[in-house]
Structure 1
C-alpha cells in the first residue's frame, strides 16, 4: 500500500474537544456534512481515539456510554489516502477494548460492514436517511384534545422515560444536551404527554431526531411540525426500518440517501414500549 504510512508511525491517542476542527476536516474529506459544532457535541458526550501521523489527524473513532450495559460506536473515519492499510482494524479494536464489558451497537455503512462482521457484530436492523428541502406548506392538523407545546429542561425526566421505553437504553446525558442545543416539542392528548421530537442545527441545515411516539400517526404530527417550520430549508431525518414513514417523507420533499445496517455485538437492548423510536438522534448516537 504505497500511499499509506507505515503502521508503526501511526499513533492512537484519546480524542479531545480541541480535536473538533481537525475531525471536521477529516469528515469533510469523506463527504460527511458535519460542522465543527457537531463534532464538539459528539466529542463532549463521548470517548474514543484519533489516529495521528506526525501532527495530522488521519482517523477517528468514538463511542458513547448508555447506562452501564451498552455503548454505541460511531464517527469511525479513515482519511481516504490512508484507507486499506489496517487503520480501521486498529480503531475498532481500540473501541472494543475501551467498551469491554458492555454490549456494543453501531450503524454500519456498506463499506464498513465487513470489518465489523469480522469483529463479532451481527445485523439486527437498519436506518434510512432522508433529506432535502421541505415542501410541507401546511402545519399538522391536530384533533380535538391534541396540543403541541415546546419542551424545556424541566421535561428531561419525561423525555428520558419515553426514550427508554422506545430504545431500552439509558440516554439521559444525550437528551440533556439535545434540549440545550436544539428545540423540542411535546405532543399531548387530553393533557397527557404521548410523544416528543427534537430539531437542531446539523450539517447543511437541520436534523429532526429523536422522534418518539406510540404510533405512526403521532410520529407524523411530531415530524410535520418541524417540516412546516423549516419549509424551503434543508432538513434531514434518519428513520429506523419499518416505520412506514418512507412514502410520506418523500411526499414532503425529502429524498432517500441510502440505508445503513444496525449491528450489535453482545445483547440487543430491549425496548419496553409502548413508545417507539421513529427517528434516531443521528447514525452515530443511535
Structure 2
C-alpha cells in the first residue's frame, strides 16, 4: 500500500481525556518519560490535536496560551511506524491555525528543528537540561535581608507577576495551577515582599524543579538548593535557561547536563524585565 493511499485513512481531531493512555504510549515509544498524570496537566493547561488511523492514535500536538500576545507548543509526537507521511506537518498546521497571530515559542529536538524552520521558526536561545540523583548538601542560606518560606495559597498574584516579568509574557494560569498542585518556596525581603520563588513537582521518573524566578544568581542558588534538598537521594530534573551561572551548584547536587534543546520563535521573542530572571523554566512544553 502506498503512503498516499494510507494517508487517506488518517483523521485529525481535538485531543480528549480519553486519549491520554494512547498519548502516554506514544511518548514512551519515543523515550520521553512523561507519566499519564503529566499528560493530564499538559492538556488541562492547554489544548491540542491527535492524528488517528483506523481507531489508533498515531500523533499528538498541544499548545498553550500565554495571554493575547504569546503561545507555546509542544508534545508534537508521531508514532515511529507512522513517520514520513507528513503527519507532524499537518499537526503543526492545525496548531498554528488555532494559535492565530500570537508570537509562538517552542523547544526543538534536532529531529524536529528542520520542520519548524520550514514553518518560519527561528532559534533565539537554548535550554540546558540537568538531571540525576540529588546528592546530600547543606542548602545555601538566602542573601542577607531575605528569608525563605513555603508558598501559600494567597501568593498566587504576586508570584504570577514575578514570573510574567521574568518570562516577558503572561504566566498567571501556569503559576496558579502549579501552586495548587505542587510544592513552592518563596524568598521574601524584610518587608515580607516576595522577590523570587521556585516550584517542585512530580514529573516523569521523579521530580522536576521549575520555574525558579529570582533577581540574581545568589537568590536563585538559595531557592534551588533548598528545593533540591527536599529530594535528597531521589531523581530530579531541572531545565535551566541560558547563562544561568549555577553550574557549580548543579554539579555539587549531582545533576548532570544531559541535553541542550534550542528555543525557537515564530514572530518576536518575549522581552523580560531585566530586574528579574527566570533561571529555570516550568516545562519545555509550556515554558
Could you say whether these structures have the same fold, taking a TM-score greater than 0.5 normalized by the shorter chain as the test?
Answer: yes
**Residues 45-194 of structure 1 correspond to what in structure 2 (within 5 A)?**
45-190=45-190, 191-194=192-195
Distance 1:81 1:138 in 2: 48
Question: Which deviations, in whole Å up to 9, do the C-alpha atoms of 1:190-214 show, x marking residues without a partner?
Answer: 2332100000000000000000001
Indicate the residue corresponding to 1:224 in structure 2.
225
Indicate the residue corresponding to 2:34 in structure 1.
34
Secondary structure of the residue that 2:28 maps to in structure 1? helix
Secondary structure of the residue that 2:135 maps to in structure 1? coil
Indicate the residue corresponding to 1:201 in structure 2.
202
TM-score, length-scaled by structure 2: 0.96
Q: Which moved more, 1:148-157 or 1:117-126?
A: 148-157
Distance 1:17 1:127 in 2: 29
Question: Which deviations, in whole Å up to 9, do the C-alpha atoms of 1:228-260 show, x marking residues without a partner?
Answer: 111110000001111122332122100111110
Question: Given that residues 164 and 172 in structure 2 are in contact (C-alpha distance below 8 angstroms), is that contact kept between their aligned partners in structure 1?
Answer: no
Shift of 1:267: 1.7
TM-score, length-scaled by structure 1: 0.96
Distance 2:180 2:4 in 1: 41
Question: Given that residues 159 and 175 in structure 2 are in contact (C-alpha distance below 8 angstroms), is that contact kept between their aligned partners in structure 1?
Answer: yes
Indicate the residue corresponding to 1:240 in structure 2.
241
Pairwise CA RMSD of aligned residues?
1.6
Shift of 1:22: 1.4
Distance 2:136 2:159 in 1: 26
Distance 1:244 1:142 in 2: 16
Distance 1:87 1:5 in 2: 14
Question: Which deviations, in whole Å up to 9, do the C-alpha atoms of 1:157-214 show, x marking residues without a partner?
Answer: 1111101110111121111110111011101132332100000000000000000001
Distance 2:113 2:2 in 1: 25
Structure 1 unmatched runs, 5+: none
Aligned residue pairs total: 286
Question: Given that residues 4 and 81 in structure 1 are in contact (C-alpha distance below 8 angstroms), is that contact kept between their aligned partners in structure 2?
Answer: no
